[in-house]
Each structure stands twice: as structure tokens, then as C-alpha cells.
Amino acid sequence: MIKACLFDLDGVVVDTAKYHYIAWKRLANELGIDLTEEENEELKGISRMQTLEIILTKGNLQNNFSEEEKAALAAKKNDWYREFVLKMDEKEVLPGVEDFLKVLQANNIRIGLGSASKNAATILEVTNMTAYFEVVIDGTKVTKSKPDPQTFLMGAEALGVDPSEAVVFEDSYKGLKAGLAGGFYTIGIGEERVLGEAHIVVEGVKDVTLATFEAFNK
């Protein structure tokens, strides 16, 4: 019996992954480092500072900056990203998401957000999605990044459900691993080759109905 759903934000609820890539690529280029779209896929679901470390390591620059300078670089990237975020509106919500959230509400299935983003609250606000989420566990509340399950375990606890009664929706491999490590049912949003370990893989939330959950009982 599924009692709750926990959604990642970027790439599941809203299409913000492209803005992260533009901002990270701009920062990388300033440092003389190239960042391809394929490499950016590996950065999905992890924290800002972890992403920066990966990019700096790619350019053999990980020892060239103090912690204060690294924080300043990450803040610069976030400023560029927020310029895009503040221009977002309802059109950025991915197909089928709002309709499915309404179905969950109508069936008394609780809804939470579990995201590494420190901009989650802002994104939900500008896209008019805040009211759907009873609980928001984001990068401002956790101490461990995915694939550690902390984000989703905190979400389940706040919603008052056991992980075995909840479904995690994720588009990143690290996020999927977090859901599995926490003992949740998982629905991968994206490609089978990346998310094949999920209990179910679909192209988007638009392809999920309450009947989809019946597969978890088999």
C-alpha cells in the first residue's frame, strides 16, 4: 500500500537541468575547462560543492583554490543559475506532473520533495507548485548528498511513513541509488540504460498512474 511519493526536483518536476548545465559550463570555461553535456549527466543529483570539486579535478585545479575561493566560485555559478530560475513560470513544469499530483492528493497519498537543490523553494514558488508539497527536503536541510539516502529518509519521516510505503521518483543514477539504499520503491524518470536498477522506468511522470503502483505488489 503506497502512502506517499517523494519527488526529486530537477528533471522530474521541472526542467531546470539545462540551466544548471549552462551555468556550470560558463564557470568551467572561465577556468579553462570544457564541460560536455555527457559529463554534465554525471553531475545530476549531487551537491553544488561536490560538483565544483569534480569540475576542478577534471582541470587539475582542485588544489589551486582555498575553501573560501571555492565557495565564491560556487556562489558565482549559483547567481547565474538563479538568473534563469527567477524567470521561470508554470511552463517549466514537466508534462503530466501537476495532473498526477492532483490525483495523489485526491487519493490521500502524501507528497514530498527530496532535492539536492538549495533553490528548491524558489523554484516551486515561481512555478506555482508549492502548495502540492507537504514536505520539502532540500540542500539547505541535509548534511549528506545522494547517493546517501538521507534526503529521502528525512522526507519519509516528515511525512510519517515508512520507506516501504513510499515511492521515490528520480532522474539521476545517484538519486536512484539513494532511493534504493533507503528501502523505497523507485520510479526512474528517463532512460533504461541509466536507471535500469529502478523498480520501474518511464519516460516521464506523464506515464505514471496509480495503476503503475500495482507492479510493486508483484
Q: What is the pLDDT of residues 121-147, one digit of tens each?
A: 999 999 999 999 999 999 899 999 899
Question: Of 85, 102, 125, which one is at a domain's C-terminal end?
Answer: 85
Same domain for 119 and 78: no
Same domain, 66 and 98: no
Residue 24 has a pLDDT of 95
Question: Binning pLDDT at 50, 70 and 90, where does residue 118 land?
Answer: confident
Catalytic hit among 8, 138, 148, 207: 8
Same domain, 125 and 201: yes
Alpha helices (H) along the chain: 17-30, 37-41, 48-58, 67-85, 97-106, 120-126, 150-159, 173-181, 192-195
Q: Does the active-site annotation cover 89?
A: no
Q: What is the CATH number of the domain that holds 111?
A: 3.40.50.1000
Label residue 15 by pLDDT band (50, 70, 90): confident
CATH number of the CATH domain containing 64:
1.10.150.240
- In terms of residue numbers, what domain contains 132? 4-14+92-217
Radius of gyration over every alpha carbon of the chain, rounded to an integer in angstroms: 17
Residues 203 and 195 sit within 8 Å (Cβ to Cβ): no
CA angle, corner 48, sides to 47 and 50, nearest 5?
65
Set of cell numbers at residue 185: 520503491
- Counted domains in the chain: 2
| pLDDT exceeds 70 at position 218 | no
**Residue 38: pLDDT above 90?**
no
Q: What is the average pLDDT across 80-101?
A: 94
Share of the chain above pLDDT 90, in %: 86
| 56, 85, 114 - which closes a domain | 85
SS3 call for 102: helix
For range 105-131, the mean pLDDT: 95
On whether both 191 and 162 belong to a single domain, the answer is yes
Does 9 share its domain with 21?
A: no
Which residues, at least 6 apart from 48, have a Cβ–Cβ distance to it below 8 Å? 74, 77, 78, 116, 118, 139
> Using 50, 70 and 90 to split pLDDT, how confident is the model at 192?
very high
Other C-beta atoms within 10 Å of 119: how many? 23
187 and 131 co-located in one domain? yes
Catalytic: 15?
no
What's the pLDDT at 136? 98
Domain check: are 181 and 149 in the same one? Answer: yes
Residues 184 and 102 in one domain: yes
SS3 136: strand
Which among 10, 138, 148, 207 is annotated as catalytic?
10
Q: Quote the mean pLDDT of the chain.
A: 94
What is the average pLDDT across 79-95? 93
- Whether residue 151 is found in the same domain as residue 55: no
- Whether residues 114 and 185 share a domain: the answer is yes
List the single range of 39-43, 154-158, 164-168 with lowest mean pLDDT.
39-43
Please check whether residues 81 and 96 belong to one and the same domain: no
Please tell me whether residues 190 and 98 are part of one structural domain. yes
Domain end point (choices 85, 108, 141)? 85
